[in-house]
């Protein structure tokens, strides 16, 4: 009997792993791109649409409402119908409504409605990408492999959004951001042709057709075992419990579930408050147009570097909770300095450090969540975590916009972000440690066999 889960966990990184990481990275690229591009719209539409700062924050938050709904819904669909089908539907939604935003989003209300509809698809892409790539990740490199896959794509999307905002919007208007987003039509076509179903999901459902072929691609050195006439496959995880919130809050998962929900809420509050307002806030602090818009790219680039280092520590030392707590404490300190000092060099250093720490730790939280749950409920768990987090993300740009409106400066923005990062760092320490999750998985496998 060949244990599919153990074969995946022990396979060396090879060509097929890199292919899947690239494909999922491109999927999540459009999530990262779309997530951050409203920040570059505010500058162009605030005066023509006569928006107060609280309303301007809604340009960011409206998409996050859709993101939250999409994150919550995708878990049910992906755990029931599969990762592949749900991802393809989400990509089509993103493609259609990105183009519609460029063509039809010419008023505050129309823009917000179209952003909400786009968010329904976008909200599914990140949790699906995290779930999918974790279900192919070797155990010893879970964070590192995942971050080189979906997190690199997500950061790349944010960087390209900044580049389009800086170089194309002055020429073609803010609509250029969404015409570029609609190029996801190419990716949808490619995924229809080459994206396989998650191997763990197929095995959990007892769909053994094609299992041997996919395992041969993952680990060619073991192909003789997988294709032997007497080879039989097994997947020692339960598959008879419907994925639900009540299961996430059952005694086995409750501690981790509540911890990651609280952390995600406050960290995403800080991330969207920062990313949504940083171009405008930096112009208020005296930075030039191109420099202010470039801060978004700086955040994304530093987030990826921070993710790699935090993930490396989590993989090597089994200190994922502690690493995230330290990262988010560092983020709170970084934005705290911006409250007290307005110097060009420190603006660059502290905003970069905030991306390194706050977003870097969030990327590891996504992997931590995926690794904490069985296959049957993993999609729902990641989706619920990000859905609760999106609720914080919705409030982030809106509340920080109101703070700036009433404090007449950027100090309130950075105080709120620093406080949220600190609360998230404390909350994650209450999650179940990695060793407890592995023991639980072993007990589950023993009962299944």
Q: What is the pLDDT of residue 429?
A: 94
Name the average pLDDT for the chain: 84
209-218 tens-digit pLDDT: 788 888 888 8
Percent of the chain, pLDDT > 90? 27
Q: H-type helices in 205-252, by residue range?
A: 211-218, 223-226, 245-248
| pLDDT tens digits along 119-146 | 899 888 888 888 888 888 888 777 788 8
Please check whether residue 247 is in contact with residue 372, taking contact to mean a CB–CB distance below 8 angstroms. Answer: no
Residue 439 has pLDDT above 50, yes or no: no
pLDDT confidence tier of residue 442, bands split at 50, 70 and 90? very low
pLDDT score at 242: 61
**Is 90 exceeded by the pLDDT of residue 41?**
no
Q: Is the pLDDT of residue 448 over 80?
A: no
The tens digit of pLDDT for each residue in 373-401 reads 887 788 888 888 988 988 888 888 778 87
Of the candidates 61, 24, 44, which has an alpha carbon nearest to the alpha carbon of residue 293?
A: 44
**CATH number for the domain whose boundaries are 2-448:** 1.20.1250.20
Query: For 70-81, what is the mean pLDDT?
Result: 83
Query: How many whole angstroms separate alpha carbon 246 and alpha carbon 237?
Result: 19
Tell whether the model's pLDDT for residue 208 goes beyond 90. Answer: no
Q: Given a cut of 80, is residue 446 above it in pLDDT?
A: no
For residue 444, how many other CB atoms are within 10 A of its CB?
A: 15
Look at 259 and 449; give whichever has higher pLDDT.
Answer: 259
Give the confidence band of 264 by pLDDT, cuts at 50, 70, 90: very high
pLDDT at 86: 92
pLDDT at 139: 80
Tens digits of residue pLDDT in 298-355: 888 898 899 889 888 887 777 889 999 999 999 999 999 988 888 888 889 999 999 9
Q: How far apart are CA 166 and CA 168, in angstroms?
A: 6
> Where do the domains of the chain lie?
2-448
pLDDT at 441 over 70: no
Q: Is the pLDDT of residue 239 over 70?
A: no
Q: What are 132's two structure tokens? A: 């999918």
Residues near 145 by Cβ (< 8 Å), separated by ≥ 6?
13, 17, 21, 133, 137, 138
Task: Place 445 in a pLDDT band, splitting at 50, 70 and 90.
Answer: very low
pLDDT at res. 436: 45
* Spatial separation of the C-alpha atoms in residues 282 and 270, rounded to whole Å: 16
Q: What is the mean pLDDT of residues 184-201?
A: 90
pLDDT at 206 over 60: yes
pLDDT of residue 437: 47
User: Is the pLDDT reported for residue 30 higher than 50?
Assistant: yes
Phi-psi map region of 56: left, alpha, beta (phi>0 left; psi -120 to 50 alpha): alpha
């Amino acid at each position: 009997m060949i244990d599919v889960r153990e074969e995946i966990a022990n396979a060396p990184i090879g060509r097929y792993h890199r292919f899947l990481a690239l494909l999922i990275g491109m999927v999540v690229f459009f999530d990262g791109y779309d997530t951050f591009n409203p920040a570059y719209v505010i500058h162009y539409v605030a005066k023509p649409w006569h928006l107060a700062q609280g309303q301007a924050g809604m340009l960011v938050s409206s998409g996050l409402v859709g993101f939250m709904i999409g994150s919550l819904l995708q878990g049910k669909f992906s755990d029931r119908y599969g990762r592949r089908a749900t991802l393809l539907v989400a990509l089509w939604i993103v493609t259609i409504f990105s183009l519609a935003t460029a063509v039809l989003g010419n008023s505050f209300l129309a823009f917000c409605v179209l952003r909400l509809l786009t968010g329904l698809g976008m909200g599914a892409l990140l949790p699906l990408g995290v779930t999918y790539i974790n279900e192919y990740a070797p155990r010893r490199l879970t964070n590192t492999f995942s971050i080189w896959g979906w997190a690199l794509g997500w950061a790349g999307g944010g960087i390209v959004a900044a580049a389009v905002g800086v170089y194309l919007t002055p020429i073609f208007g803010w609509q250029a951001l969404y015409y570029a987003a609609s190029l996801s039509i190419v990716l949808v076509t490619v995924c229809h042709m080459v994206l396989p179903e998650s191997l763990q999901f197929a095995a959990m459902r007892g769909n053994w057709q094609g299992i041997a072929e996919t395992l041969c691609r993952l680990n060619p050195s073991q192909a003789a075992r997988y294709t032997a006439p007497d080879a039989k496959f097994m997947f020692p995880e339960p598959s008879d419990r419907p994925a639900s919130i009540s299961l996430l809050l059952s005694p086995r998962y409750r501690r981790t579930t509540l911890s990651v929900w609280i952390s995600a809420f406050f960290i995403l509050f800080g991330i969207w408050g920062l990313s949504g307002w940083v171009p405008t806030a930096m112009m208020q602090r005296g930075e030039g147009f191109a420099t202010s818009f470039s801060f978004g790219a700086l955040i994304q680039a530093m987030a990826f570097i921070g993710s790699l280092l935090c993930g490396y520590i989590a993989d090597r030392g089994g200190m994922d909770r502690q690493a995230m707590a330290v990262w988010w404490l560092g983020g709170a300190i970084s934005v705290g300095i911006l409250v007290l000092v307005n110097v060009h060099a420190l603006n660059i250093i502290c905003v970069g450090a905030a991306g390194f720490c706050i977003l870097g730790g969030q990327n590891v939280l996504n992997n931590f969540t995926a690794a904490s749950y069985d296959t049957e409920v993993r999609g729902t768990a990641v989706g619920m975590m990000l859905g609760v987090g999106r609720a914080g993300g919705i409030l982030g740009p809106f509340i920080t916009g109101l703070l700036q409106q009433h404090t007449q400066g950027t100090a309130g923005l950075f105080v709120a972000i620093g406080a949220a990062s600190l609360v998230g760092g404390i909350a994650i320490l209450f999650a179940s440690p990695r060793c407890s999750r592995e023991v639980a998985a072993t007990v589950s496998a023993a009962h299944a066999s």
